[in-house]
Chains A and B, each alone.
Chain A
Amino acid sequence: MSETSATARRFRSGVSHVLLILVAILFLGPLVYAVSTSLKPADEVFTPTPELFGSEIRWQNYADAFTFAPFGRYFLNSLFVAVVGTLVVVVASSMSAYAFARLKFRGREQLFVLFLGTLMVPQEVLIVPMYWLMQSLGWVDSYWALILPWAFTAFGTFLLRQFFLTVPAELEEAARVDGCGPFGSFLRIMLPLARPAIAVLTVFTFISFWGSFLWPLIIVNSVEAKGTVPLGLAQFIGQQGTQWNLMMAASVLAMVPTVLLVVLLQKHLVRGLLVTGLGGR
């Protein structure tokens, strides 16, 4: 390899890196703009020339967002719905996944196909009858309605079954010889081994509950009491004199939990994506 071609290669690689960094900056633009706006005084949101900072850095906007609209309430509601929803999803899917991966019973394959078939049904087909069902149960405008309808999905069953199938059968057989029943080996052997898979499912489920919009829009009547974060944000649309700086503060806060999850669990997420090929709803 000659000296010049090595230099040329290094040059090309350098240009490539610089271009990539430019792409990344462009990509980050909207997020930087959101943070920048969230720290500006209200009358400096729209300026003739783009400016990163206003005349002052108003951290106060973040506090004001919580008094301007009941965002504290929205955050608590979202947190409650997402945590309880995720818990139900993880418990129900790990149990059924264990049955499909480890227990032998007649009709297992057919039942599993039925489970997978439910993945095909889009939410939009379900919302009308689901609303009617919630009305019949008296659950409109309740936490039940926000959580339960979407807490039983075949996605989690599918994901965890894949993991349970990779656990060597000998481990469980040894436990059974030692007097462990299916419940014992499920709790003491399979669940601890499946921790990475459960982490992936937890994150995806939490995020899909946290960001869910269409269903809360339909089922929540008293936004001030039962509203979730996306619903609270959307409330501002169409209102006169939108307080964009406060809105952006609230939007940025709404992103914080999920951004943290992505950054902290990046390795698990990539692996989870590969295993499942799905990313929430």
Chain B
Amino acid sequence: MTATDTTEAPPGVPPDRARRAGRPPALRRDGRYASVFLAPSLGGLALFTLFPTAMALGISLFDWPVFGERKFLGIENYTQLLSDPVFRRVVLNTTLFVVLYVPLNVVVSLGLATWLGPKIKGRQAFRVLFFIPVMTPMVANVMVWRLLFQPGGLLDSGLQSWFGINAPNFLGSSDWAMPAIVAMSIWQGFGYNFLVFSAALDQVPQSQLESAQIDGAGPFQRFRYVTWPMITPSLFFATTMTLITSFQVFAQPFILTQGGPGVSTQTIVMYVYNQGWQFLSMGLASAAGWVLFVIIMGITAIQFVGQRKWVNYDV
């Protein structure tokens, strides 16, 4: 499919008739150029995104080993997923991560962005600082935190020598592993929303805040009635993006705990990886990937429906 077929006058039709049909010559010429300009992106997206997306649905309906014979199963992979206690646990773990991570991330990033208002000196330096872990390779960040959480690592030795208490085995205990993963993730990720919120807060006119102050509004009231309505679009955007990406959590549990202890920190993406590349069952992996896709689409849809109630685009 090319975008241009239909914009060309049929061969043999004189230009003046095409013009009479309501199409200026520039448009016809543009169409031909457009196909050239669009070809690389369109070809790449078709081959590497559109086709695989459809293909994923197909594969999920098969018993599809990496090597060997494929067999059509219908929805059996999906029913198997639903009855698999590991998969159910994995969905639960991922949800727990999201429920802990997203609100904490928003509170920390919005809190710091509000704190670092225009009156703070050196705010540009703070912005750069908090943004560094967002951009450094996730695996390198996680490595550092793995050492930090290690028995004998900084947290352990710090707690012992400064407070005289033994640190829990953060990564080896089923009570502590998930909070440890969440803590690490917030450290590495909040800088992004922090920047988004900082930029949004900069748009709030100081004059309005000052006149509210003269009218006797305290800091909380100023935030609630002046600032909040003006930043809801950013809040909506940031929470939606953070929700989507946090359902895709992988590198943190993969490197910090390998999903353990047991399967207590295994996530959906880890399950996809394990099914596909440890157990070589591509059909099941693809089905799990589609389940994740559907969850993400559902959450995004709910966000978009819910935004009418609290997001304010009129200010």
Q: Which A residues fall within an 8 A CB radius of B?
A: 13, 16-17, 20, 23-24, 27-31, 33-34, 37, 45-50, 91-93, 95-96, 98-99, 103-108, 111, 115, 118, 120-133, 148-154, 157, 181-183, 186, 207, 210-211, 213-214, 217-218, 229-231, 233-234, 236-238, 244, 247-248, 251-252, 254-255, 258-259, 261-263, 266, 269-270, 273-274, 277-279
Contacts and interface: CB of A to CB of B under 8 A. Distances in A.
Given A106-B7, A213-B138, A234-B255, 15 more contacts: A33-B144, A92-B44, A98-B37, A111-B42, A120-B296, A125-B53, A148-B44, A152-B43, A182-B37, A211-B136, A211-B138, A266-B128, A273-B192, A273-B195, A278-B241
A76 to B, nearest CB: 16
Contact of A128 (B34, B132, B138, B289): B289
A277 B237 contact: yes
A95 B27 contact: no
A33 B132 contact: no
Contacts of A207: 135
Nearest to B33: A182
B110 to A, nearest CB: 14
Interface stretch (B13-21, B153-161, B222-230): B153-161
Nearest to B67: A135
18 contacts: A27-B130, A31-B132, A99-B34, A103-B30, A104-B26, A106-B7, A108-B3, A120-B297, A121-B53, A124-B269, A124-B289, A126-B49, A131-B282, A152-B44, A211-B136, A254-B140, A259-B132, A277-B241
B290 A248 contact: no
Contact of B136 (A122, A148, A259): A259
A180 B285 CA distance: 52
Contacts of B68: none
A210 B137 contact: yes
B140 to A, nearest CB: 4
A211 B137 CA distance: 4
B259 interface: no
B86 interface: no
B132 A105 contact: no
B293 A121 contact: yes
A50 B161 contact: yes
Contacts of B258: 237-238
B13 to A, nearest CB: 16
Contacts of A149: 48
B180 to A, nearest CB: 13
Given A50-B161, A262-B135, A277-B241, A27 B273 contact: no
A36 B6 CA distance: 64
Interface in B249-304: 250-251, 254-255, 258, 268-269, 272-273, 276-277, 282, 285-286, 289-290, 292-293, 296-297, 300
A218 B153 CA distance: 31
B304 to A, nearest CB: 12
B31 A92 contact: no
Contact of B161 (A49, A96, A258): A49
Given A125-B53, A127-B272, A255 B286 contact: no
Contacts of B127: 266, 270
Contact of B196 (A103, A181, A273): A273
B131 to A, nearest CB: 6
B49 A118 contact: yes
Interface of B: 3-4, 6-7, 26-27, 30-31, 33-35, 37-38, 40-45, 47-53, 55-56, 59, 112, 115-116, 119-121, 124, 126-141, 143-148, 150, 152-154, 157-158, 160-161, 187, 192, 195-196, 199, 237, 241, 244, 248, 250-251, 254-255, 258, 268-269, 272-273, 276-277, 282, 285-286, 289-290, 292-293, 296-297, 300
Nearest to B43: A152
A71 B3 CA distance: 46
Given A125-B292, A251-B143, A269 B131 contact: yes
A183 B34 CA distance: 10
A16 B31 CA distance: 59
A248 B37 contact: no
B140 A255 contact: yes
Contacts of A31: 132-133, 144
B273 A258 contact: no
B276 A273 contact: no
Contacts of B134: 279
Nearest to A108: B3
A45 B146 CA distance: 13
B293 A122 contact: yes
B293 A125 contact: yes
Given A132-B59, A182-B33, A124 B272 contact: yes
A120 B248 CA distance: 13
Given A95-B37, A259-B135, A124 B292 contact: yes
Nearest to B143: A251
A128 B275 CA distance: 10
Given A96-B40, A118-B50, A262 B154 contact: no
B140 A251 contact: yes
Given A46-B152, A123-B248, A129-B286, A262 B132 contact: yes
A167 B204 CA distance: 27
Contacts of A244: 147
Contacts of B153: 46
